[in-house]
Amino acid sequence: MKLIYSIFVFLFLGLQSYAFEYATFAGGCFWCMEPPFDKIEGVLETTSGYMGGHQKNPTYKDVSNGSSGHAEVVRVKYDPTKVSYEKLLDIFWHNIDPTTKDKQFVDIGSQYRTAIFYYSDEQKKVAIKSRDDLEKKNVFGAKIITEIVAATDFFEAEEYHQDFYKKSPVRYKFYRFNSGRDQYIQRIWGDKK
C-alpha cells in the first residue's frame, strides 16, 4: 500500500510540475514589463528575452541596434488553473501604448514594437478578441497596431537584464519615470489598473 501511495504522489507531483503554459509579450523595454506580471498569483516566472527576428542567439547589442529583427519580450510562465490568459492580456494592455509603431515611450525602433506572440490557436483567438474589444471601446483614442503573431524561437536575454527592477531598483525607477510610461498609463487608465 505504501508503494502504491508513493507512486501516486510521485505521478501527481510530476504532473503538477508540467501544469504550466507560456505567454510572450513585446511591450517595449522588457525591464518595465516584468514587474506587472511578477506580482500576479499564478505567474510562476517571467524571463526577459528576444523574439520575432531572424538572427539566432542574438545579443542585447544585436537587438538594441535593430539588426536582429527581434523585439524585446517578456515570457511569462504561468499556471492556467490560477491565472487566465485573458488576465495576462489585460495586464499587457494596461502597461503599453498599442497605438505607436516601432516605439514605446522614449524607446524607438522595431525592437520596441508591441506584439502578442501566441502559442496556440486558442491564445490567438483570445488575443484577437481582447484587441477587438478594446478597439470597439476606443480605450486608447487611436487604432491599435499591436501585432498578434505566432511565437517563434525565444532567446533569453543576458543575466544582468533578468529582474533588473529588483537588482537595480534606483536605476529602474529613474528610467521608468523618465520614460513617460507611468504618466501614459495614468492618463489612459487612471485608477482602473
Catalytic residues: 29
Q: Among 187, 76, 109, 93, which residue's Cα sits nearest to residue 146?
A: 93
Assess contact for 60 and 109: CB atoms under 8 A: no
Largest CA-CA distance found in the chain, in angstroms, rounded: 64
Residue whose C-alpha cell is 544582468 = 160
- CA–CA separation, 115 vs 121, rounded Å? 16
DSSP E strands in the chain: the ranges are: 21-27, 43-51, 71-78, 103-104, 107-108, 114-118, 147-150, 155-156
- The cell for 82 is 490560477
Residues 6+ apart with CB under 8 A from 82: 41, 42
Residue 151 burial (CB count, 10 A): 19
